[in-house]
Amino acid sequence: MLCERCGQRPATVHMTEIINGHKSETHLCEVCAREIQPQGFGFVPQIHLHNFLAGLLNHELGGEQHDQAETTGNRCEKCGVPEGQILKQGLLGCGDCYPFFEDKVLPLLRRIHGSTRHTGKVPERTGGRARLAKEIGILKNHLKEAVSREDFEQAAQLRDQIHQLEKSMNEGGEV
């Protein structure tokens, strides 16, 4: 069947509309369908983000387990959510799922974000060591700049600050 609108391409979109009991059928090719797409009627099936993720995760787990039931697979030792449910929903169960399913989650994160390392904000109270590490990183950059400027007085100061922070980090405490 050819498209009713352009008469050139094969009709692949078949639409049935019932308005006040009157039924009408339209057969269109994909190109025309997209052009006249009526408000509110999406031809393209909406793919929910979570389905996509579930697909990606499935891939990480080696495709064959595609149709596994929600209750199968390892369970997170903290929240008890089974792998099967994560695959189905595309959502993890709790913060501890990240380390628990690490071997699957990390490749997924690399695929989504192109990275597996957070470089942004660190919470003040719960961040502890991460915050120190971030601060040290920033100071080291400043140090490099100071050295290249040949501002050795500031470089010395920065070096001392870095030592101080590294010391408190090694002691496991906070500043």
Partner 1 sequence: MPLKKTVNDSHSRWMDADGPESGIAISSRVRVARNLAGIPFPHLLNNAKAEDVIHAVRLAVEDKELAKQAGVLELSLLSALSPVERQILVDKHLISPDLIDNFERKAVVLRDDEVISIMVNEEDHLRIQCLLSGLQLNEAWDLINQVDDGLEKTMDYAFSEQLGYLTACPTNVGTGMRASVMLHLPGLGLVKQLRGVLNAIGKVGLTARGLFGEGTEALGDLYQISNQITLGQTEEEIISNLTAIVRQIISQEKATREALYKDRRDFVEDRVYRAYGILKNAHILSSEEAMRLFSELRLGIEMNLLSGIPAKLLNELMVRIRPAYLIKVAGREMSAHQRDVFRAELIRNEFKEL
The residue within the footprint of partner 1, chosen from 1, 119, 148, 150 (CB under 8 A), is: 119
Q: In a 3-state reduction of DSSP, which class is residue 19? A: strand
User: Least CB distance from residue 40 to partner 1, whole Å?
Assistant: 7
* Contact call for residue 40 and partner 1 (CB under 8 A): yes
User: Which two structure tokens, joined as six digits, stand for 152?
Assistant: 């050795």
Smallest Cα–Cα separation from 2: which of 36, 27, 33?
Answer: 27
Our finding on whether 116 is near partner 1 (CB under 8 A) is yes
Residue 96: how many other CB atoms lie within 10 Å: 14
Of positions 14, 59, 66, 113, contacts partner 1 by CB under 8 A: 113
Choice between 2 and 69, CB closer to partner 1: 69
- Mark the segment that binds partner 1 (CB under 8 A) among 2-10, 116-124, 141-149, 152-160: 116-124
56 token code pair:
């990606």
Can you read off the two tokens belonging to residue 88?
């189905």
138 binds partner 1 (CB under 8 A): no
Neighbours of 154 (CB within 10 A): 14
| Residues of this chain, 89-108, that bind partner 1 according to CB under 8 A | 89-95, 98-99, 105, 108
CB 81 to partner 1: min, Å: 6
Number of residues assigned to the chain: 175
Joined together, the tokens standing for residue 99 give 């380390």
Question: What does the block give as tokens for 149?
Answer: 């400027």
Please tell me whether residue 46 binds partner 1 under the rule CB under 8 A.
yes
Q: What are the strands, taking DSSP E only, across the chain?
A: 13-19, 22-28
- Binding-site ranges for partner 1 (CB under 8 A): 39-40, 42, 46, 48-50, 53, 78-79, 81, 89-95, 98-99, 105, 108-109, 112-127, 129-130, 133
